[in-house]
Amino acid sequence: QSALTQPASVSGSPGQSITVSCTGTSSDVAGYNYVSWYQQHPGKAPKLMIYEVSNRPSGVSDRFSGSKSGNAASLTISGLQAEDEADYYCVSYSSSNTPSVFGTGTRVTVL
Amino acid sequence: QVQLQESGPGLVKPSQTLSLTCTVSGGSITNGGYFWSWIRQHPGKGLEWIGYIYFDGGTRYNPSLKSQLSISIDTSKNQFSLTLSSVTAADTAVYYCARLGAYSSPKYAMDVWGQGTTLTVSS
Protein backbone atom coordinates (compact mmCIF):
# COMPACT_ATOMS: atom_id res chain seq x y z
CA GLN A 1 0.00 0.00 0.00
CA SER A 2 1.55 3.33 -1.06
CA ALA A 3 1.55 6.36 1.18
CA LEU A 4 -0.88 9.18 0.51
CA THR A 5 0.77 12.06 -1.37
CA GLN A 6 1.22 15.42 0.32
CA PRO A 7 3.32 18.43 -0.73
CA ALA A 8 6.63 18.52 1.10
CA SER A 9 6.14 22.09 2.22
CA VAL A 10 3.59 24.90 2.28
CA SER A 11 4.19 28.39 3.58
CA GLY A 12 2.22 31.51 4.29
CA SER A 13 2.33 34.81 6.10
CA PRO A 14 0.57 35.45 9.41
CA GLY A 15 -3.14 36.00 8.87
CA GLN A 16 -3.21 34.27 5.50
CA SER A 17 -4.96 31.02 4.65
CA ILE A 18 -3.13 27.95 3.39
CA THR A 19 -4.29 24.57 2.14
CA VAL A 20 -2.49 21.24 2.44
CA SER A 21 -3.55 18.55 -0.01
CA CYS A 22 -3.60 14.78 0.46
CA THR A 23 -4.03 12.59 -2.61
CA GLY A 24 -4.95 8.94 -2.48
CA THR A 25 -6.86 6.35 -4.46
CA SER A 26 -10.26 4.72 -4.73
CA SER A 27 -9.17 2.24 -2.05
CA ASP A 28 -8.70 4.92 0.57
CA VAL A 29 -9.45 8.66 0.33
CA ALA A 30 -12.00 8.40 -2.47
CA GLY A 31 -13.72 5.36 -1.06
CA TYR A 32 -14.32 6.35 2.56
CA ASN A 33 -15.04 9.42 4.66
CA TYR A 34 -12.39 8.41 7.17
CA VAL A 35 -9.66 10.96 6.53
CA SER A 36 -7.98 12.49 9.56
CA TRP A 37 -5.30 15.17 9.96
CA TYR A 38 -2.56 15.46 12.57
CA GLN A 39 -0.30 18.29 13.67
CA GLN A 40 3.17 17.46 14.95
CA HIS A 41 5.54 19.96 16.50
CA PRO A 42 9.25 19.03 16.71
CA GLY A 43 9.92 16.44 19.39
CA LYS A 44 6.23 16.07 20.20
CA ALA A 45 3.60 13.43 19.57
CA PRO A 46 1.10 14.03 16.78
CA LYS A 47 -2.19 15.71 17.69
CA LEU A 48 -5.53 14.98 16.04
CA MET A 49 -6.85 18.11 14.31
CA ILE A 50 -9.56 16.80 11.97
CA TYR A 51 -11.40 13.46 11.79
CA GLU A 52 -13.92 11.94 9.40
CA VAL A 53 -12.88 14.45 6.72
CA SER A 54 -14.22 17.64 8.30
CA ASN A 55 -14.90 17.21 12.01
CA ARG A 56 -12.89 19.03 14.67
CA PRO A 57 -12.23 17.47 18.07
CA SER A 58 -13.15 19.53 21.08
CA GLY A 59 -10.47 22.13 21.78
CA VAL A 60 -9.15 22.43 18.23
CA SER A 61 -9.35 25.93 16.82
CA ASP A 62 -12.03 26.58 14.19
CA ARG A 63 -9.26 28.05 12.03
CA PHE A 64 -8.64 24.44 11.01
CA SER A 65 -11.03 22.88 8.52
CA GLY A 66 -11.07 19.81 6.32
CA SER A 67 -12.73 18.76 3.10
CA LYS A 68 -12.61 16.09 0.42
CA SER A 69 -13.28 15.84 -3.28
CA GLY A 70 -12.82 12.58 -5.10
CA ASN A 71 -9.44 11.08 -4.25
CA ALA A 72 -8.07 14.28 -2.67
CA ALA A 73 -8.55 15.58 0.85
CA SER A 74 -7.52 19.02 2.06
CA LEU A 75 -6.68 20.75 5.31
CA THR A 76 -7.14 24.50 5.38
CA ILE A 77 -5.64 26.72 8.05
CA SER A 78 -7.13 30.20 8.07
CA GLY A 79 -5.72 33.20 9.93
CA LEU A 80 -2.30 31.57 9.99
CA GLN A 81 -0.44 32.00 13.27
CA ALA A 82 3.16 31.39 14.30
CA GLU A 83 2.05 28.46 16.48
CA ASP A 84 0.68 26.69 13.41
CA GLU A 85 4.21 26.09 12.15
CA ALA A 86 4.54 22.30 12.32
CA ASP A 87 4.40 19.11 10.29
CA TYR A 88 0.97 17.92 9.17
CA TYR A 89 -0.01 14.39 8.23
CA CYS A 90 -3.17 13.01 6.69
CA VAL A 91 -4.33 9.46 7.38
CA SER A 92 -7.05 7.50 5.64
CA TYR A 93 -8.77 4.22 6.22
CA SER A 94 -7.93 1.83 3.40
CA SER A 95 -9.55 -1.34 2.14
CA SER A 96 -6.10 -2.62 1.18
CA ASN A 97 -3.93 -4.83 3.36
CA THR A 98 -2.96 -1.75 5.40
CA PRO A 99 -6.10 -0.35 7.07
CA SER A 100 -4.43 2.92 8.12
CA VAL A 101 -2.50 4.69 5.37
CA PHE A 102 -0.41 7.72 6.27
CA GLY A 103 0.43 10.70 4.13
CA THR A 104 4.00 11.68 3.36
CA GLY A 105 3.76 14.75 5.58
CA THR A 106 3.85 18.52 4.93
CA ARG A 107 6.01 21.09 6.68
CA VAL A 108 3.98 24.27 7.20
CA THR A 109 6.12 27.37 7.59
CA VAL A 110 4.85 30.72 8.82
CA LEU A 111 6.89 33.40 7.08
CA GLN B 1 -9.39 11.48 30.43
CA VAL B 2 -7.60 8.58 28.79
CA GLN B 3 -3.81 8.75 28.69
CA LEU B 4 -1.26 6.44 27.10
CA GLN B 5 2.34 5.90 28.20
CA GLU B 6 4.95 3.89 26.33
CA SER B 7 7.81 2.11 28.05
CA GLY B 8 10.76 0.28 26.60
CA PRO B 9 14.49 -0.46 26.85
CA GLY B 10 15.76 2.52 24.84
CA LEU B 11 18.66 0.57 23.36
CA VAL B 12 18.78 -2.94 21.89
CA LYS B 13 21.44 -4.80 19.95
CA PRO B 14 20.99 -5.92 16.36
CA SER B 15 19.27 -9.31 15.96
CA GLN B 16 17.70 -9.05 19.42
CA THR B 17 13.99 -8.94 20.18
CA LEU B 18 12.42 -5.63 21.13
CA SER B 19 9.48 -5.33 23.50
CA LEU B 20 7.53 -2.15 24.11
CA THR B 21 4.53 -1.69 26.38
CA CYS B 22 1.79 0.92 26.33
CA THR B 23 -0.09 1.49 29.59
CA VAL B 24 -3.61 2.89 29.35
CA SER B 25 -4.86 5.04 32.22
CA GLY B 26 -8.13 6.90 32.77
CA GLY B 27 -10.16 4.33 30.87
CA SER B 28 -10.49 0.62 30.17
CA ILE B 29 -8.62 -1.11 27.38
CA THR B 30 -11.65 -3.40 27.05
CA ASN B 31 -13.72 -0.51 25.70
CA GLY B 32 -14.96 -2.03 22.47
CA GLY B 33 -14.98 1.28 20.67
CA TYR B 34 -11.25 1.37 19.97
CA PHE B 35 -8.29 -0.33 18.38
CA TRP B 36 -5.01 0.00 20.25
CA SER B 37 -2.29 0.99 17.82
CA TRP B 38 1.44 1.29 17.34
CA ILE B 39 3.04 3.85 15.02
CA ARG B 40 6.72 4.66 14.53
CA GLN B 41 8.72 7.53 13.13
CA HIS B 42 12.23 7.07 11.81
CA PRO B 43 14.64 9.95 12.54
CA GLY B 44 13.70 12.95 10.44
CA LYS B 45 11.02 10.97 8.57
CA GLY B 46 7.28 10.58 8.42
CA LEU B 47 4.91 8.39 10.40
CA GLU B 48 4.56 4.67 9.71
CA TRP B 49 1.64 2.54 10.85
CA ILE B 50 2.82 -0.67 12.56
CA GLY B 51 -0.38 -2.39 13.58
CA TYR B 52 -3.21 -2.55 16.08
CA ILE B 53 -5.01 -4.90 18.45
CA TYR B 54 -8.62 -5.07 19.61
CA PHE B 55 -9.58 -5.92 23.17
CA ASP B 56 -10.56 -9.45 22.09
CA GLY B 57 -7.03 -10.07 20.78
CA GLY B 58 -7.77 -9.53 17.10
CA THR B 59 -4.87 -7.90 15.26
CA ARG B 60 -3.92 -6.22 12.00
CA TYR B 61 -0.29 -5.74 11.04
CA ASN B 62 1.63 -3.73 8.48
CA PRO B 63 2.51 -6.38 5.86
CA SER B 64 6.07 -5.07 5.62
CA LEU B 65 6.64 -5.90 9.31
CA LYS B 66 4.38 -8.92 9.71
CA SER B 67 7.17 -11.52 9.73
CA GLN B 68 8.89 -9.98 12.75
CA LEU B 69 5.94 -8.39 14.55
CA SER B 70 3.56 -9.42 17.31
CA ILE B 71 1.10 -7.25 19.24
CA SER B 72 -0.53 -8.55 22.40
CA ILE B 73 -2.91 -7.27 25.04
CA ASP B 74 -3.12 -7.75 28.81
CA THR B 75 -6.53 -6.60 29.94
CA SER B 76 -5.74 -7.30 33.61
CA LYS B 77 -2.97 -4.69 33.47
CA ASN B 78 -4.70 -2.36 31.02
CA GLN B 79 -1.67 -2.66 28.74
CA PHE B 80 -0.85 -3.67 25.21
CA SER B 81 2.58 -4.57 23.89
CA LEU B 82 4.63 -4.72 20.73
CA THR B 83 7.29 -7.34 20.10
CA LEU B 84 9.65 -6.96 17.17
CA SER B 85 12.12 -9.76 16.52
CA SER B 86 15.48 -9.71 14.72
CA VAL B 87 15.80 -5.96 14.89
CA THR B 88 18.23 -4.02 12.72
CA ALA B 89 19.37 -0.42 12.55
CA ALA B 90 16.37 0.21 10.29
CA ASP B 91 14.13 -0.29 13.34
CA THR B 92 15.69 2.72 15.10
CA ALA B 93 12.77 5.12 15.56
CA VAL B 94 10.44 6.83 17.97
CA TYR B 95 7.59 4.45 18.75
CA TYR B 96 4.16 5.80 19.61
CA CYS B 97 1.08 4.04 20.91
CA ALA B 98 -2.29 5.55 20.08
CA ARG B 99 -6.02 4.91 20.43
CA LEU B 100 -7.78 4.44 17.10
CA GLY B 101 -11.54 4.84 16.85
CA ALA B 102 -13.17 1.57 15.76
CA TYR B 103 -16.95 1.42 15.88
CA SER B 104 -17.68 4.89 17.15
CA SER B 105 -16.51 8.38 16.35
CA PRO B 106 -13.75 9.41 15.75
CA LYS B 107 -13.84 6.41 13.46
CA TYR B 108 -10.43 5.37 12.14
CA ALA B 109 -8.78 8.41 13.70
CA MET B 110 -6.15 8.38 16.46
CA ASP B 111 -7.44 10.72 19.13
CA VAL B 112 -5.13 9.87 22.03
CA TRP B 113 -1.36 9.41 21.69
CA GLY B 114 1.43 8.49 24.02
CA GLN B 115 4.43 10.81 24.25
CA GLY B 116 6.59 8.34 22.33
CA THR B 117 9.60 6.26 23.29
CA THR B 118 12.91 6.35 21.43
CA LEU B 119 14.42 3.06 20.41
CA THR B 120 17.99 2.81 19.16
CA VAL B 121 19.32 -0.39 17.62
CA SER B 122 23.06 -0.47 17.96
CA SER B 123 25.81 -2.82 19.06
Q: Do B109 and A45 touch (CB under 8 A)?
A: no
Looking at residue A1, its pLDDT comes to 65
Chain B 26-55, CB below 8 Å of chain A: which residues? 37, 46-49, 52
Looking at residue B83, its pLDDT comes to 98
Q: Do A45 and B96 touch (CB under 8 A)?
A: yes
A75-103 per-position pLDDT tens digit: 999 999 999 999 999 999 999 888 999 99
A59: alpha, beta or left, given left = phi > 0 and alpha = psi -120 to 50? left
Taking a C-beta distance cutoff of 8 angstroms, is the pair B52, B71 a contact?
Answer: yes
Taking a C-beta distance cutoff of 8 angstroms, is the pair B53, A89 a contact?
Answer: no
Report helix, strand or coil for B82: strand
Mean pLDDT on B23-32: 94
Percent of chain A with pLDDT over 70: 99
On chain A, the residues whose CB falls within 8 A of the CB of B105 are: 51-52, 55
- Residue B118 forms contact with A (CB below 8 Å): no
Cα A59 to chain centroid distance, Å, stands at 17
The chain-wide mean pLDDT, for chain B, equals: 96
Percent of chain B with pLDDT over 90: 95
Q: Do A45 and B113 touch (CB under 8 A)?
A: yes
Q: Do B46 and A100 touch (CB under 8 A)?
A: no
A6: Cβ contacts below 8 Å, ≥ 6 apart: A20, A21, A22, A23, A88, A89, A90, A103, A104, A105, A106
B28-65 per-position pLDDT tens digit: 999 888 999 999 999 999 999 999 999 999 999 999 99
β partners of residue A72: A23, A69
Report helix, strand or coil for B91: helix
Which residue in chain B is spatially nearest to A3 when comparing CA positions? B48
- Residue A104 forms contact with B (CB below 8 Å): yes
- Residue B66 forms contact with A (CB below 8 Å): no
Which residue in chain B is spatially nearest to A50 when comparing CA positions? B109
Count of A–B CB contacts within 8 Å?
A: 71
Confidence tier at B105 by pLDDT (50, 70, 90): confident
Q: Do A34 and B107 touch (CB under 8 A)?
A: yes
B26: Cβ contacts below 8 Å, ≥ 6 apart: B1, B2, B3
A8-62 per-position pLDDT tens digit: 999 999 999 999 999 999 999 999 999 999 999 999 999 999 999 999 999 999 9
